[in-house]
Amino acid sequence: RQGVIRLREFNMAEVEIFFDPEENSTHPKFKEVENEKIRILPAENQEERKKGEEVEVTLREASERYFLNEFFSYYIWLTKRFLLEIGIPEKALRFRQQLDEERAHYSADTWDAEVKTERFGWVEVAGHAYRTDYDLKRHMEFSGEDLSVFVAFESPREVEKLKVYPRMERLRKKMKGQALGKLIEITKKENEKILRELNEKGELEFDGVRLTREDFEVKKEKERVTGKKVIPHVIEPSYGIDRPIYCILELNYLEEGERIYLRLPPKIAPIKCGVFPLVSKDGLPEVAKEVDSLLRKRGIYTYYDESGSIGRRYARMDEVGTPYCVTVDYQTLEDGTATLRYRDTKEQIRLRIEEIPSFILREMGVLC
């Protein structure tokens, strides 16, 4: 019964966004959107007594009360903007916080974008996981590679750092001279890595010899540094492809009396413009084909149709979501203008033929 949205194979689009959690917990563009409203369902409101009470807050309020930081909030907002642009109505969209038992072990917090459908109720269409530094630390642990990033300071700073030094008197009993020399060099180059491994495991293996914390001396030293090494945190927005398409089709399929139309946003409509001659004679088809060619040369995908009544041709375009139709009529032969019809309102305006491509591109938001 849920075969349309529960598939064995499905398409996904994911992005991994890395940032410095110490310095950049806010996004440089957050202030531009901090007053935008968003509808959320936090975990605390999913308890039985609250009965799934949703909250509408600004992004600023959400960042302070619900989301882990402003950086995370910004990408939640980007998802909202994207879903609205592809045809999800705002009243049918919310962001739900996953409960502890739902959330993946690597995520500090996860929020799902959900869309309310008539057939299936609330459907998850995107997820936003705050994966912290889990992925990079695991890669570092098993690959032995340093995946930290050097972040330069604006000016040098004096900092206290922990330094690890081999205890020579102990290690001479465990290691031969050549291996000991290698250890001294590696300790200088990979001081932080060795210290981290000793702190986490209490020991490390080098050249087949097990070394413990007692084999090293840790000292606090002041050092002038120009930057720092950071293991970035990761935010992972992941978007389903199939489910949003289903939601768009369901929520934008409209019936008004005998009229059926698909209210697709122009940007995602497969056919942008239908092109018709009013009748299939008197030179109108030839002019209509010229208009069709003019639109295609500007990258506007068209559908040329001269079969049946003009009303039926409009209806066919409405049913597949075509936002605009251009009709060439007898007035076109007189003054070089044609009729442009809007799908949603059925409003018609007249434009000069050479103006039509730029007009449609502006309506679609492609030209300013």
Q: pLDDT, tens digit, for every residue of 57-93?
A: 999 999 999 999 999 999 999 999 999 999 999 999 9
Indicate whether 361 pLDDT > 70: yes
Q: Are 339 and 347 in contact (CB under 8 A)?
A: no
What are the φ/ψ torsions at residue 126 (nearest 5 degrees)? -160, 155
Residue 67: its pLDDT value, please? 94
Q: Encoding tokens for residue 359?
A: 């007009």
Helix (H, G, I), strand (E, B) or coil at 289: helix
Q: Are 248 and 86 in contact (CB under 8 A)?
A: yes
Segments making up each domain of the chain, as ranges: 12-134+233-248, 150-227, 262-363
Q: How confident is the model over 145-184, as pLDDT tens digits?
A: 889 999 898 899 888 888 888 888 787 877 777 778 888 8
Residue 2: its pLDDT value, please? 64
Residue 80: its pLDDT value, please? 97
Average pLDDT, the chain: 91
Q: How confident is the model at residue 24 (pLDDT cuts 50, 70, 90)?
A: low
Residue 1: its pLDDT value, please? 61
- CATH architecture for the domain at 262-363: 3-Layer(aba) Sandwich (3.40)
Q: How confident is the model at residue 3 (pLDDT cuts 50, 70, 90)?
A: low
Q: Encoding tokens for residue 247?
A: 């939601």
Q: Encoding tokens for residue 229?
A: 């090494």
- Distance (Å, rounded) from C-alpha 31 to C-alpha 60? 9
- Give the domain 12-134+233-248 fold: BirA Bifunctional Protein; domain 2 (3.30.930)
Q: Any idea what the Cα angle at residue 353 is, between residues 350 and 354, rounded to 5°? A: 130
User: How large is the average pLDDT for residues 337-342?
Assistant: 98
Q: Tokens 């079969």 correspond to what residue?
A: 307
Q: Which of 48, 33, 54 is nearest to 97 (CA)?
A: 54
3's CB contacts (< 8 A; 6+ apart) are: none
DSSP 244: H
H/E run at residue 284: helix 284-297
Burial of 144 (0-12, 13-18, 19+ CB in 10 A): exposed
